[in-house]
Amino acid sequence: MKKAILFLAFLLPVIGSIAQTVNITFNVNMNFQTVDPGGVFVAGGSGFGSPGDNQLTDPDGDGIYSITLAKPVGFSSHYIFLNGNCGDYSCKENIAGQPCSDPASYNDRFIAVGSSDTTVSTCFGLCTDGTDCSVVDSVEVTFRLDMTGVTVDPGGVYVAGGGAFGSPGDNELTDPDGDGIYTITLAKPVPFASYYTFTNGNCGDFSCKEDIAGQSCADPDNYNDRFLRLVENDTVICTYFANCDAFSPCALTSVDDLILDPGLFRLHPNPARAEVWLDFSSAGRVARQVEVFDPSGRMVWRQQVAVGATQTLLQLASLPASVYVVKVRDGQRMSVQKLMLTPR
């Protein structure tokens, strides 16, 4: 009897410690990524250590990488997924501007658990609730920046900052027609809001950003940056470098004037590896514009299709495996479709 009591006295603290932990399971769809030989990891925050500490595995080869970790009841921490064992986090997923990223903590994800086991299922590089890697609803934000009278830096003109627009060098505005108006269109998740600024040059320290201190659109509590208020529809912003005024007419064509035509084109094969045929429902009377956006909303491919063409080949071997959005503009008509590029 005495031995039994001693055994129970030893066992109770062990049982109590087990009851004070919960299991957190992460499932990450990597089917649209070229998985680094170093492995897939969860890391960061105050509770998930460094790259290399917590490796996700895929024993059944279905492309879903998983790990289960025991954490204390009431645990909370930021975290991020990494494609590779990179101590400097250079291989972390880029979810900037998406709803699950925290711009105040390196655009990482966040988890808080109670007293029950928790499962997080998502896609690498996307804020999905589950391992279905369909692209979330998005809006297009177009910036048209008048650089007239400004000596443009050879490094380019960029929109950056605010946690959703990255660093100088990430999102370049261009002026293909040489009229002094630099333009970029980015796809962002709905709803979307963020600070931002323009830079004249590719300066990682933001030393070449515009100076709008004291002007109406500058927020002195956020580095005198501009602020894009809640956006739920396609939006065009027309302004001047270092000046809060807006110019008009703003857009060459108002977004409200566009006609959404879901049958304008189809993609095949889809999913694809490197080459995708784009078939139009009819011959074009004007040159068509094809644009491809990555999951962060950055335009990564642009191609013009000649008048009268009924199909064109998109040679996308330079793009990594991921989920993309393809947008086609045909005069006043527009259509958007999802494209999946698989590992090659």
d(CA 265, CA 330): 10
d(CA 51, CA 43): 5
The separation between the first and the last C-alpha atoms of the chain, rounded to the nearest angstrom, is 67
- Of the pLDDT bands very low, low, confident and very high (cuts 50, 70, 90), residue 135 is low
Out of 2.60.40.10, 3.40.190.100, 3.40.1390.20, 3.90.950.20, the CATH code matching 138-255 is: 2.60.40.10
Question: What pLDDT does residue 253 have?
Answer: 42
Q: pTM surpassing 0.85?
A: no
Out of 2.60.40.10, 3.40.710.10, 3.40.50.10790, 3.20.20.140, the CATH code matching 2-123 is: 2.60.40.10
Burial (CB count <10 Å: 0-12, 13-18, 19+), residue 306: exposed
d(CA 253, CA 240): 19
Q: Hey, how many other C-beta atoms are within 10 angstroms of the C-beta on 46?
A: 10
Average pLDDT over residues 39-57: 97
Task: Give every CB contact of residue 249 below 8 A, 6+ residues apart in sequence.
Answer: none
Of 324, 335, 328, 329, give the one whose Cα is nearest residue 271: 324
For residue 339, the surrounding DSSP H or E stretch is: strand 333-341
Q: How far is the CA of 315 from the CAs of 134, 272, 330, in angstroms? A: 22, 11, 20
Residue with tokens 């074009």: 284
Q: Which CATH architecture has domain 258-341?
A: Sandwich (2.60)
- Of the pLDDT bands very low, low, confident and very high (cuts 50, 70, 90), residue 166 is confident
Average pLDDT over residues 196-209: 96
Average pLDDT over residues 199-216: 96
The answer, yes or no, to whether residue 247 has pLDDT greater than 90, is no
Residue 293 tokens read as: 């956006």
Burial (CB count <10 Å: 0-12, 13-18, 19+), residue 4: exposed
Question: What pLDDT does residue 251 have?
Answer: 52
The answer, yes or no, to whether residue 8 has pLDDT greater than 50, is no
d(CA 237, CA 257): 16
Domain definitions of the chain by residue range: 2-123, 138-255, 258-341
- Of the pLDDT bands very low, low, confident and very high (cuts 50, 70, 90), residue 322 is confident
Average pLDDT over residues 94-105: 82
Average pLDDT over residues 150-176: 90
**Residue 292: strand pairing partners:** 301, 326
pLDDT in tens, 60-76: 999 999 999 999 999 99
Average pLDDT over residues 83-104: 87
